[in-house]
Structure 1
Amino acid sequence: MKKTTLSSLLTLLLSTAPTTTAQVTGSPSGFAAGTTGGGNATPQTPSSLAELVTWITDSTPRTILIDREWNFIGTEGTTSSQCCSNQITVCAGGTSAGQAWIGDTCDDGTWISCTYDNAGQSPLDVGSDKSIVGVGSAGVLRGKGLRVRGGNRNVIIQNIHVTELNPRYVWGGDAITLDGSDMVWIDHCKFSLAGRQFIVSGWGAAGRVTISNNEFDGVTSWSAGCNGRHYWTLLLIGEEDWYTFQGNWVHDVSGRAPHLGTDYTDSRILFHGVNNYFQDVGGHAFDVDTNTWVLLEGNYFDGVDTPVTGGTLSSGALVYNVPTVDSASACVSSLGYICEWNRLAASGSWPSLAQQAVLDTFSEYTDSLVDAYGVADVPATVVANAGVGKI
């Protein structure tokens, strides 16, 4: 019998090891449970920017591995034009530069010269049945976002850093757009340096969405609040949407963190926010408009100026934020469990919002409600797990 040496054993192991280095990790809970993305499609790594674009946008089910930084800046040219400079551009006495506005009108300011990258304003339209997955901590999309729209569905975006979408200009670009979509799982991603929203829904339905374990990093040199913190965090205003927002780290932002709802359309939005860590928010976190049902459990607000805006209280929004022990116990009859309370540290006031209509509505969706763990563990747990390279 031939003797097996250590070197031959290693050669054998390497020759029989899978060539794929990454694929989707885990599966979504909450409202997007059942989302499979590319399913059993063999994971593939694109070899060029053109191939990446084709794979993301075509109609073939795929698992697409992002094992490097794909830089779109400069690939579609630039536009030199006039942008609107107003009070959020000058930032007199502020700690950062402001943001000028890309647009056609300038009623409250003056025109200034500006040049912005075209790729940031034209996101890639993600086809149905796609998994877009970062490898380790290497997966970066620089200068271009992703958009799921037009009836496309069953999409997983995991472990990707989307960044540098014309951050000095409002309307410079959105990182993730959902409009006429369904069954979308956004997990373990990082968002930074966008001109506009990190995640935004259009006027159409976003559908069933789970946003979990992401890092929303608002540190910027160009801030609408003149404070070095990004304002345009999440704008969720779709026509018929169900969101699970779980385990996310939202830090160094100043607004729309998130904004929910609108009276512009007959939208209907259900939002379950569980075990998220809001840290160093120099402005407002939740800003909730009408046509919304919001259940907040086990969220930790640390250094948040305004955890819930005053406008939320008068907008017609329906919110259950577990303000008392009795309100936590009151969840049992509708949801079957005691709700986890929310905690504030060095933050603004936490208004008492406990509309029974929220529990009545969510009682129809108990299979889609995720379990909360103790709120005291949120800061350490979320920081250790949220963002890229942590799965």
Structure 2
Amino acid sequence: MLFHMAFKRATLALGSAAFLFNLSGSCATEFDFSRPKGFGAATIGGMGGEVVNITDPIDGREQLKNALCNSFNAEGVCSDATPRIIRIATTIDYTGTEKTSSERGCYPGKTKGECPTPYEPEALILVDANDRHCSGKEVTGITYDAAGKNPLSVGSNKTLIGASSSAALKGKGLRLVNSRNVEIRNLTISDINNGIVFGGDAISLEGVDRVWIDHNTFHNIGRQMIVDHFRPAINVTISWNNFDGTSAYSPECNGKHYWNILLIAKKQNITLSNNWIHDFSGRAPKVSGSDAIVHVVNNYFQNGSWHAIDSSENAHLFVEANYFDNVILPILPDDGYIFGALGSLGAVAQRECKEKAGRPCLGNVAIPEPSNNDFTQYSAVMDAFEVLRKNIIPSSKSKVSSCMITPYEASKVPAIVKAYAGTGHL
């Protein structure tokens, strides 16, 4: 009874954005957008907590900051675990609110004057004295908007959701450190020092558990749209987002963003599903680490001038039922492991799927077919996936049933993902 009441409270609090809640607590159907699926399925965010409505674009800056986190520990890390549902109904623009700063950096790729109109080269801020990104390049002062490098801290047990078509964060991203049980949905996050690498990320994850990033649009981000750092990122689902890489700034002056999704946590299990990732040149995603398992499923990769997926440093990627449309290199050959196929899987691979995934696997589609087919079927990936499937899903510690993704055919991906990914579809 309490479980049903909790869902009812959340439904009333979220209004139309939550009309698809399944009050039975069973697995959400494939296009039930009210509940996460995959590794982050146990996430419930701020369910049952205070509802904070943010409607003023100016006063909302401080209101949002305090609603996301109103207490910090001695190390400056957010310690606020009070459940809250935070509804944004306007654009909160932090651009210019913290003045500008200047640090040493360079133009690591093309330089000014080398790009054809309307494109511009990317600048890069050196992280520290040991940073070698500018080796062989002229080091100069790079001026940037200070707000971009000072993200909003997000505490545990929070739902942050856009409540109107104008719901957006500009000039500043979100940082989750040691956060548990967070939902970020239906927001446009954009214009964070566009064209300045290391000028700020859209969403940064560090030592997190149970996170759902869903139905957002990312655009004009200086560095990564989503990054998990070297600490664990476990039980995470990234679904139905629009990663828009179109930009005047790019490494090769072609208008395609390179810094997209970087997953380098020492320990991580992440579902990346039903995302539209387009106009990119790399890191879409890049995954590293021997204790990493990422399920890349039913994503639409479009217009990639270099590689989409990069599995490195013994990472384990289960890649199925994705559609690669005009992508030069769907898989970058690297020292990680891939289980997936371009086209149908063979009989041996399918037997392994049925045994370890509990179902048949679906192949990927690439149009046109790439000159290099670097899809492989490493058993180590399915071994790791089986362990998670049996021991994490469902989670006995959660009142919410956890469910894995059941993929649909790759040929259907472009139409479905373009119709529903990004903001405005809840």
TM-score by length of 1: 0.89
Give the whole-Å Cα distance in 2 for the aligned partners of 1:91 and 1:226: 11
Tell me if structure 1 keeps the 8 A contact 2:13–2:51. no
1:66 aligns with 2:88: yes
| Residue 309 of structure 1: aligned partner | 332
Q: Cα RMSD between the aligned structures?
A: 1.9
The change in CA–CA distance for 1:244 and 1:19 in structure 2 (over 3 A counts) is closer
User: 3-state SS of the aligned residue for 2:120?
Assistant: coil
The alpha carbon displacement at 1:329 in A equals 4.6
Cα deviation per residue 1:145-168 (whole Å; 9 max; x = unaligned)? 00111x211000000110001012
| Residue 312 of structure 2: aligned partner | 289
The alpha carbon displacement at 1:112 in A equals 3.5
2:338 to 286, 302, 319: 319
The alpha carbon displacement at 1:19 in A equals 8.7
Cα deviation per residue 1:270-305 (whole Å; 9 max; x = unaligned)? 101110000001111011112311111100000001
The change in CA–CA distance for 1:79 and 1:295 in structure 2 (over 3 A counts) is same
Aligned pairs for 1:1-391 (under 5 A) are 21=15, 23=17, 26-46=34-54, 47=56, 48=59, 49-58=61-70, 59=80, 60-90=82-112, 92=114, 94=116, 96-103=119-126, 106-149=134-177, 151-262=178-289, 268-310=291-333, 312=334, 315=335, 317-323=336-342, 324-326=345-347, 327-348=349-370, 349-366=372-389, 367=393, 368-391=403-426
Give the whole-Å Cα distance in 1 for the aligned partners of 2:383 and 2:419: 34
The alpha carbon displacement at 1:83 in A equals 3.0
The alpha carbon displacement at 1:21 in A equals 4.8
User: 3-state SS of the aligned residue for 2:308?
Assistant: strand
Residues 378-387 or 106-115, more deviating: 106-115
TM-score by length of 2: 0.82
Tell me if structure 2 keeps the 8 A contact 1:23–1:65. no
Tell me if structure 1 keeps the 8 A contact 2:193–2:199. yes
Tell me if structure 2 keeps the 8 A contact 1:199–1:234. yes
Cα deviation per residue 1:161-217 (whole Å; 9 max; x = unaligned)? 100010121111100000111100000001110110000011111121000000000
The change in CA–CA distance for 1:148 and 1:81 in structure 2 (over 3 A counts) is closer
Give the whole-Å Cα distance in 2 for the aligned partners of 1:298 and 1:183: 24
Give the whole-Å Cα distance in 1 for the aligned partners of 2:158 and 2:377: 39
User: 3-state SS of the aligned residue for 2:45?
Assistant: coil
User: 3-state SS of the aligned residue for 1:357?
Assistant: helix
Residues 96-105 or 79-88, more deviating: 79-88
Amino acid at match of 2:283: R
Tell me if structure 1 keeps the 8 A contact 2:115–2:121. no
Give the whole-Å Cα distance in 2 for the aligned partners of 1:329 and 1:225: 43
Tell me if structure 2 keeps the 8 A contact 1:302–1:347. no
Tell me if structure 2 keeps the 8 A contact 1:123–1:146. yes
Q: How many residues align?
A: 365
* Structure whose CA Rg is larger: 1
Amino acid at match of 1:353: T
Cα deviation per residue 1:241-263 (whole Å; 9 max; x = unaligned)? 1000110000001110110004x
Amino acid at match of 1:321: G
User: 3-state SS of the aligned residue for 2:65?
Assistant: helix
Give the whole-Å Cα distance in 2 for the aligned partners of 1:221 and 1:241: 33
The change in CA–CA distance for 1:69 and 1:108 in structure 2 (over 3 A counts) is same
Amino acid at match of 2:148: G
Give the whole-Å Cα distance in 1 for the aligned partners of 2:237 and 2:103: 38
Amino acid at match of 2:346: V
The alpha carbon displacement at 1:44 in A equals 2.0
Residues 65-74 or 331-340, more deviating: 331-340
Give the whole-Å Cα distance in 1 for the aligned partners of 2:225 and 2:303: 17
Give the whole-Å Cα distance in 2 for the aligned partners of 1:282 and 1:205: 31
Residues 239-248 or 52-61, more deviating: 52-61
User: 3-state SS of the aligned residue for 1:330?
Assistant: helix
Cα deviation per residue 1:200-245 (whole Å; 9 max; x = unaligned)? 0111111210000000000001111321011001110102110001
Tell me if structure 1 keeps the 8 A contact 2:338–2:375. no
Alignment gaps of 5+ in structure 1: 1-17
Amino acid at match of 1:337: R
Alignment gaps of 5+ in structure 2: 1-11, 19-32, 71-79, 394-402
The alpha carbon displacement at 1:92 in A equals 2.5
| Residue 3 of structure 1: aligned partner | none
Give the whole-Å Cα distance in 2 for the aligned partners of 1:193 and 1:50: 23
The change in CA–CA distance for 1:89 and 1:40 in structure 2 (over 3 A counts) is farther
Amino acid at match of 2:91: E
